[in-house]
Structure 1
């Protein structure tokens, strides 16, 4: 199966005052289509930075990121945004729902950005899939944390992404609610044939994916097949 994401010799540093902090150094791996893949490591190891680079939200100092056959550094910021809107879904720890929109409208946003017909109809279908068919007219402030993350899941899959990046998707949820969200994430991912890249500190969650990349001190410490 073809690679959907290829990372080659990736490095990233940040400068603060006179100090330069190397966050990632010599990162190399690839992910095939429809694979489930997790990135683990201690706090401050560079996991979220790596996820941002993989998704084209930030640019590396050196090395390349090739997403769905496109080398991201060759694109302008606007071109990267278009690529993300077409091919990429996101789930964040803090949900990132738009507070002035209803649940239904939040899910419809990626579809409307694409100019899709019947955006609201598809958004309603996705809300039903995540068990919130009757909550479409509620605003984020009227939903529990678990419900907000389920809306975020529906939104992430709205544009039929080829790859979905999830950054600590259960980080703000209690254990039982987190388990429900994880089950939904993997069910939707399998049903829609999406590639899933998951950043997590939860090894039990990481073990649900096919491959686990461990980062320590900004470098790859291990890349193993999970015991599914």
Structure 2
């Protein structure tokens, strides 16, 4: 099984006044292509920072990240953006839909960035998969939180990413709505064969993945294999 993500001795610090704040220290792990993987830990443990470094949204201070066989620290910002556009999908806690675009247009954006044809046709099919075919011409402000996150799911899978990063995907949803979104996420992921990396404080969600990495104080505490 090939490795889609290799993280080696990763470190990240920030200047805080005249002090240096260590957010991540000596973090190493790897993820197989097609695997489902959770990063868990208490608030402030470095989970979201780690996700940003793995996805090339930020640069490391120490260590290396290889994503899809490419060393991210050897790329400039534009090159990292191109790699993300080609290989990476995102789902965020606060949905991050474009407010001036309809659900259909939001889902079509990654396809248009990739120069695909029939973008609205593909987007409409994906919205049907997440049960929103009747809401495709609605704007985010006209949709509930659960509906917005389902649009975000459809958008994330629209560009057929090699790897999908989900940062607290149910964090802004009630438990029942969150459960439906999680089921959709795993169903779509299984169908697409995408590698899925979830950052969450919700152990019930984490236990649906094949492996769990636990962080505390910016360090790896344990790594567990799940018997799924």
Give your verdict on TM over 0.5: yes
Which whole-Å CA distance do the structure 2 matches of 1:142 and 1:121 have between them? 22
Please name the residue that 2:88 is paired with: 88
Q: Which 4+ runs in 1 deviate beyond 6 A?
A: none
Alpha-carbon RMSD: 0.5
Q: Please state whether the residue corresponding to 1:223 is helix, strand or coil.
A: strand
Correspondence 1:184 to 2:184: yes
Please name the residue that 1:53 is paired with: 53
Please name the residue that 2:76 is paired with: 76
Q: Please state whether the residue corresponding to 2:23 is helix, strand or coil.
A: strand
Which whole-Å CA distance do the structure 2 matches of 1:206 and 1:195 have between them? 15
Which whole-Å CA distance do the structure 1 matches of 2:40 and 2:114 have between them? 33
Please name the residue that 1:41 is paired with: 41
Correspondence 1:12 to 2:8: no
Please name the residue that 1:156 is paired with: 156
CA shift, 1:227, in A, is: 3.8
Q: So what's the TM-score if we normalise by structure 1?
A: 0.99
Which whole-Å CA distance do the structure 1 matches of 2:107 and 2:19 have between them? 42
CA shift, 1:163, in A, is: 0.2
Residues matched between the structures, number: 228
Which whole-Å CA distance do the structure 1 matches of 2:87 and 2:155 have between them? 13
Summarize deviations over 1:151-180 as a string: whole Å, max 9, x none.
000000010000000000000000000000
Which whole-Å CA distance do the structure 1 matches of 2:210 and 2:107 have between them? 28
CA shift, 1:130, in A, is: 0.4
Please name the residue that 2:203 is paired with: 203
Gaps of 5+ in 2: none
CA shift, 1:17, in A, is: 1.4
Which whole-Å CA distance do the structure 1 matches of 2:186 and 2:14 have between them? 34
Contact 1:207/1:227, CA 8 A, preserved across alignment: no
CA shift, 1:78, in A, is: 0.5
CA shift, 1:226, in A, is: 2.0
CA shift, 1:19, in A, is: 1.1
Please name the residue that 2:102 is paired with: 102
Correspondence 1:167 to 2:171: no
Which whole-Å CA distance do the structure 1 matches of 2:16 and 2:23 have between them? 12
Q: So what's the TM-score if we normalise by structure 2?
A: 0.99
CA shift, 1:126, in A, is: 0.5
